[in-house]
Amino acid sequence: MFNLLERLLGPKLENFRETQPILNLKEFYTGTLKAHGVARTLFGKVLRRFTADIKGSQEGDKLILNEFFTYDDGRTFNRQWELTQDNPEGTQFTGKGADIFGDIKAQTKGCAGLLKYTLKIPTKKSKSSFKTMAVIHWQYQIDETHALHFLRIKKFGFTIIKSTVMFVKDSSPLN
């Protein structure tokens, strides 16, 4: 029932078509960024807090993101994603990552972006132990240097974790 309500009443990418600033994934995520986030249960209990240092670069039609996460328990995790631009407008991407099963599908309209993928998430029990979960990942560019991300992480079709992440782009001229 909740999933049906979520689909009917939740955000639709089309609703952001006329919003500003326009989210251009390759432009926004190229350079040095810092992320600050929290993962919570569906009912709001905090599971983890984390920061990430991100370096984005471009190779042709690819956006490459190298991310280094530090969790509140001291654990660290490195991730690299490659997103390939699928259309000339730069609004559709397909991606890969070592912590992804299958493909990342990304689309943007106006200030918003929607990514869908299946993620391997490290567990607290072991550094080599992972869970596999579907992710619905919304992001909104706030201004030239800030983007806010909202993730719903699902298992068996039910949202079990929500994560909120603020990305801050280094705007120094040497970036």
**pLDDT tens-digit series, residues 56-105:** 999 999 999 999 999 999 999 999 999 999 999 999 999 999 899 899 99
Of 1-10, 44-53, 108-117, 162-171, the least confident: 1-10
- Looking at domain 2-169, its CATH architecture is Beta Barrel (2.40)
Q: Where are the beta strands (DSSP E) in 61-145?
A: 62-71, 76-85, 92-97, 100-109, 112-122, 130-141
Q: Of all residues in the chain, what percent carry a pLDDT higher than 70?
A: 91
User: What pLDDT sits at residue 10?
Assistant: 77
For 96, counting Cβ atoms within 10 Å of its Cβ (0-12 exposed, 13-18 middle, 19+ buried), the class is: middle
Which residue type occupies 122? P
- Residue among 86, 133, 120, 132 nearest 106 (CA): 86
Hey, where are the domains in the chain? 2-169
Question: What is the rounded CA–CA span in Å between residue 68 and residue 122?
Answer: 14
User: What pLDDT sits at residue 171?
Assistant: 78
CB burial of 113-139 (b: ≥16 within 10 Å; e: otherwise) equals: bbbebebebbeeeeeeeeeebbbbbbb
129 confidence band (pLDDT: 50, 70, 90): confident
Asked if 163 and 173 touch (Cβ cutoff 8 Å), the reply is no
pTM exceeds 0.85, yes or no: yes
